[in-house]
A and B are shown apart, each in its own frame.
Chain A
Amino acid sequence: MLRRKLFLVVVSVLLIGLFTLGAQAQTPKYGGTFDYALDRDVGSIDPHSAHSVQRINVGLMMFDQLFTFDTTGQVVPNLVESYEISPDGLVYTFHLRKGVKFHTGREMTAQDVKFSFERLSDPRTQALGYAELNSVLGKQEFSNGEAAEITGIRVIDDYTVEIELVAPDATFTRKLAKVYTSIVGYEGIGENMEFITPVGTGSFKYVEYVPNQHLILERNPDYWQEGLPYLDQVVVHMNVDPSVQLMRYQSGQLLYMEIASPVQKLTLEADPRLRDEIVAMPGPSVQVLTMNANFPPFDKKEVRHAINWAINRERLAYNVVGGMGEPAYAPFPEDITKRIGLPEWYGYDVEKAKALLAEAGYPDGFKTELVVVANEIQRLASEGVQADLAEIGIEVEVRVVESATYTAMMNEGRVPFGNMNVGSQMSDPDEVFMDFLHSSRTPGLNRAAYKNPEFDALVEKARQTVDDQERFELYRQAAEIMMEDSPWAVLYYLKSVAAVKPELKGIEIMPTRPSLRITKAWIDR
């Protein structure tokens, strides 16, 4: 198994090298069309409401943000050239790049930042990213209609904007890297803040959107990054069934395809010509089992520990879900786990699991139901869990439910034992612990109804700690407490898997949402 791990590490390093250096090793060529197939419609192309990964990736092509993510999930300045944070962590001064132009040709200034952030916070916009700027001073008053502007956002001059927060927020620059906080030109926004047409500063300009069919973008010749992008055009094809995407990829009509199911991956792996075109990068999520302590037998810590010890994560990740995952031993997505430097909790030990179960008063196991959303990977994983738990006498009935019902059941805290995908948009531990485990998120995303005041206090403190080393230490302590309490059994890190034709170079796959950037992509033909 060590050899396998070593092999995976080597492959990952090679792939990262391939993707980041590939573009530099050869001289990029201009021209060509990037065809991007989605299994659904993007729905809306308003970046302030871009909540699904598809919308986010498409939004990133047309819009820029003050900050952005790199391929390792780190946040880097984007439209901001430099910035300072006041010693108390409350005031951010952003110096904007000069000469950045909107697709209309107008130069972007600090006023546009203020306009964009106020539009995002205006209830009339009905933006799904409405809460992103909650930590900004005066945001609530503005959103409630008590103030005409967000007082904490101050335009100093054309290229300087100051943002004051209510309390320190360690994730603030990360929030400004989300597509939700895109800078939009007022030319594309209506009187009542409704979205009319995409006017951004991104590397591609909007040409046409035919709902449910396609979205066409063209190269932005005035893009602020000199010489970029290389591609002439992007065509986003909507509603393309995954089986058809596969055929299009196999026939060379698509140079890039996101792989969402083990079956697709296996089909490609079975073809010796295509096998090497599969790329698996750390993804933005971790798969977990939620165990709600309000329901017996999950009220017993020994039971939760037993389940944790009973799961063969390597088999689950490499075999059951067909290599779409990587075994997980910590409660964050893969890149965050590595960044914070967390130890591994709970190995695979059936005997220990059995002993714990007996200690809890269930020497012969028990019967339970595992609720899972109708999704191929999650269903497969649940069946794997079912087999593992049968080994220690726990008889699991897998109950697959449709997504809306699943969301309702889980959010209401009605599920004793569930399978959940824990996603992080901005690759930060705060999102995971605050949104999915803080006691204030019940009912809601804290679907295991986890409650530990000590954990809550550490997570709250971490959010206000701007120094990363200090902050990560708080998360390590919080993770220790949480893993001991075991409201979850972590299963595997979900990979971002894609198939990429060798002639497509320079695409960037990131462990965040957005997960795909094509600014530096080019076609070697």
Chain B
Amino acid sequence: MQRYVIKRLLIAVPTIIGITLAAFILMYILPGDPVAILMGDVLDMRTMEMLREQLGLNDPLYVQYYRFISNALRRDFGKSYQTKRLVNDIISSALAYTGKLTLAAYIISIVVGIPAGVFAAVKHNSWGDTGTMVLSMLGICLPPFVVALLLLYVFAFRLAWFPLGGTGSFAHMILPAVTLGIRPAAMLARITRSGMLEVLRQDYVRTARAKGLSQRVVLTRHALKNCLIPVITVMGGQIGGLLSGSVVVESIFSWPGIGKVSVEAILARDFPVVQAVVLLSALVVVGINLLVDLSYAFVDPRIRYE
């Protein structure tokens, strides 16, 4: 197990370096000069030259990349071109908000998605099954911005149950979390349903029933546990999806998370922020994939990492 983890961590190093290098080169290849964007429609050549010099943009690319990597190792990502705030501050504040939202959405997706999938499987070929599947199909198909605007219009504008975007209280989080949680919940419901349908036909389930175990015990202990591998894979993948899917939701709900910060940084070619976000995302995705792989061993005792 330990050896496996170390091996995986070692493989992660070139992956992460590769990703940051690619992002770095890509940002420079993309048309768009961060200084010209900063200046807007007041372009003064002397000011631009002064800013390029001060921001270190006149240095050769490899010098800039070396500076980025060596500073990043000391957890120093410099200052944003646009706001002059420390990138660390920008990212940590945004990450805290996105973390909260993602966690809430994740909980919603699990609490709603898995029971819905189990319900549909148990009520196979009934109206309940069809209804659940139609709803889950809708949840997957509806784009988040439509859901967001719909929820805002009905629950915040018309009914005034929730605030119209922003942060501050628990109530502010509910609509964005629901919006964000709908799609993964729908996917989990479908995956759980198909997994359960397969498992419920297995002999050991029949045996469990024959032993006189209650329906709840049969479903949770015997059936659900055995169909969790694909569900966990999907759940792991969802985190990356939730992080990136939050861009639209954060924009509409004025949620100051990492999605909005990254999009704005990319549009403004705010290199220090973009690079920090890319590095961070790479770390998160690599880390979560590792965790998902390791968790298989806990769910399925047949899997061993030796």
Contacts and interface: CB of A to CB of B under 8 A. Distances in A.
Chain B binds chain A: yes
B36 A402 contact: no
Contacts of B156: 247
Contact of A51 (B40, B152, B153, B166): B40
Given A211-B256, A239-B256, A409 B84 contact: no
B157 A247 contact: yes
Given A241-B252, A247-B164, A51 B260 contact: no
A248 B164 contact: yes
Interface stretch (B205-213, B233-241, B263-271): B263-271
A212 B256 contact: yes
A130 interface: yes
B284 interface: no
A189 to B, nearest CB: 13
A49 B38 CA distance: 9
B31 interface: yes
A408 B33 CA distance: 7
Contacts of A195: 84
Nearest to A37: B254
Contacts of B254: 237-241, 244
B160 interface: yes
B203 interface: no
A427 interface: no
Contact of B37 (A248, A407, A409, A422): A407
B43 A444 contact: yes
Interface stretch (B45-53, B61-69, B179-187, B221-229): B45-53
A467 to B, nearest CB: 26
A99 interface: no
Interface string A29-50: 0000000000011011010010
Given A123-B50, A405-B31, A408-B31, A211 B41 contact: no
B84 to A, nearest CB: 6
Given A44-B83, A244-B164, A251-B157, A404 B46 contact: no
B256 A51 contact: no
Contacts of A143: 50
Contacts of A247: 152-153, 156-157, 164
A407 B84 contact: no
B31 A404 contact: yes
Contact of A445 (B43, B83, B94): B43
A82 interface: no
A184 to B, nearest CB: 15
Interface in B74-103: 82-85, 90, 93-94
B90 A404 contact: no
Given A126-B54, A241-B254, A41 B83 contact: yes
A421 B47 CA distance: 22
Nearest to A124: B54
B115 to A, nearest CB: 32
Given A423-B41, A444-B45, A244 B152 contact: yes
A243 interface: yes
A402 B85 contact: no
A250 interface: yes
A126 B267 CA distance: 21
Interface in A459-481: none
Contact of A131 (B40, B44, B84, B157): B44
Interface in B230-258: 251-254, 256
Nearest to A445: B43
A134 interface: yes
A126 B256 CA distance: 26
Interface string A334-349: 0000000000000000
B287 interface: no
B27 to A, nearest CB: 10
A129 to B, nearest CB: 8
Contacts of B157: 247, 250-251
B43 A241 contact: no
Nearest to A425: B42
B42 A244 contact: no
Given A44-B82, A248-B164, A404 B260 contact: no
A40 B152 contact: no
A104 interface: no
B47 A130 contact: yes
Interface in B132-149: 149
Interface residues of B, number: 49
Given A51-B42, A247-B157, A241 B82 contact: no
Contacts of B46: 130-131, 134
A267 interface: no
A375 interface: no
Given A123-B54, A237-B166, A411-B43, A212 B84 contact: no
Contacts of A407: 32-33, 36-37
B247 to A, nearest CB: 12
Contacts of B51: 126, 128, 130
Contact of A52 (B33, B40, B44): B40
Nearest to B55: A126
Contact of A404 (B37, B84, B160): B37
B167 interface: yes
A50 to B, nearest CB: 11
Given A240-B165, A435-B43, A403 B37 contact: yes
A110 B43 CA distance: 30
A253 interface: yes
A257 to B, nearest CB: 12
A58 to B, nearest CB: 13
B118 to A, nearest CB: 37
A280 B260 CA distance: 31
A134 B84 CA distance: 24
Contact of B260 (A43, A239, A409, A441): A239
A182 to B, nearest CB: 16
A422 B53 CA distance: 28
B9 interface: no
Contacts of A24: none
A241 B166 CA distance: 10
Interface string A380-397: 000000000000000000
Nearest to A123: B50
A213 interface: yes
B261 interface: yes
Given A247-B156, A247-B164, A404-B268, A411 B47 contact: no
Contacts of A402: 267
Nearest to A180: B42
B45 to A, nearest CB: 7
B299 interface: no
Given A244-B152, A441-B43, 18 more contacts: A40-B264, A43-B83, A44-B83, A49-B84, A51-B42, A124-B54, A128-B47, A131-B47, A211-B85, A238-B254, A239-B260, A241-B252, A247-B153, A247-B157, A251-B157, A251-B160, A405-B31, A423-B41
Interface of B: 30-33, 36-47, 50-51, 53-55, 82-85, 90, 93-94, 149, 152-153, 156-157, 160, 164-167, 251-254, 256, 260-261, 264, 267-269
18 contacts: A44-B85, A46-B84, A51-B42, A52-B40, A123-B50, A128-B39, A131-B46, A134-B46, A212-B94, A212-B260, A213-B166, A239-B256, A241-B254, A243-B149, A247-B164, A405-B30, A411-B33, A425-B42
Q: Which 4 A-B pairs have the closest CB atoms?
A: A404-B32, A212-B256, A131-B44, A408-B31
